[in-house]
Copies of this chain bind each other. A is one copy, B any other.
């Protein structure tokens, strides 16, 4: 996600406030290492599989696909930035079939990694794989999203979820379910831009992102829309907070309704794009 006409705002904010956005508590929990001023969770500790992810996998009976088809028609944050493909060879002509692809890293169901917003931040090829296997938490804000496109997942929504389910487990990926994925195959409705070109769809509130990074111990967050922030954001506070803390985001997630009331383990199958800011991924849940 990006838009040249708002880039200046982000750059100025980072210049003014710095990126870390990491509380002393979070910083110490992550071990206090820094790279370019940012704590890097992925460099820390042994490569141990999250125990809750394993415990939940024991109960799983199904593989749920949280990934949309990576298509030339996927909705994109910027108009005209859709992927392109061409047929390279075919079974009929050549004995086997291969396509060639051309795309930017933030298309389709894809991951945002710290380097997307953090100069010298961890790139996806070096991001620790242990963070890619996590317990999934799905917080349903579809009722308010149906009323107001700019709806946010707020701290109160997290508190309500925890009242019903207990505290968000360590190492979780926290997903926002807005129901927006039902519009995926209608790119204009998915972007939902107004007459001024401002997009309108749900996202995390900045306060909720800060709460998850500072008060909980998450691996990342995910949304069924085009951006971790609401579409109308010009400051990308959620991106800055989450990626600045060494966590990841997932945008364009499919099918969260299938796991929102279940215990699930999520596996984020993002290829190791060299020096990548993130990239297209296969996101699977065991539930």
Question: Which residues of A are interface residues toward B (Cβ below 8 A)?
Answer: 1-2, 4, 6-11, 14, 47-49, 54, 57-58, 60-65, 67-72, 85, 88-89, 91-106, 108-109, 115-119, 125, 129-130, 132-133, 236, 239, 267-277, 279-282, 284, 286
Contact A49 B60 (CB under 8 A): yes
Contact B67 A49 (CB under 8 A): no
A58-B57, A96-B10 are known contacts. Are A272 and B67 too (CB-CB below 8 A)? yes
Contact A105 B101 (CB under 8 A): yes
Listed by A's residue number, 5 A-B pairs whose Cβ atoms lie within 8 Å are A6-B95, A14-B91, A47-B63, A65-B272, A97-B277
Which residues of B sit under 8 angstroms from A281, Cβ to Cβ? 269, 271, 282
Number of copies: 2
Which residues of B sit under 8 angstroms from A119, Cβ to Cβ? 91-92, 97
* Chain A contact residues: helix, strand, loop or mixed: mixed
Which residues of B sit under 8 angstroms from A4, Cβ to Cβ? 89, 94
A47-B63, A62-B47, A102-B102 are known contacts. Are A282 and B271 too (CB-CB below 8 A)? yes
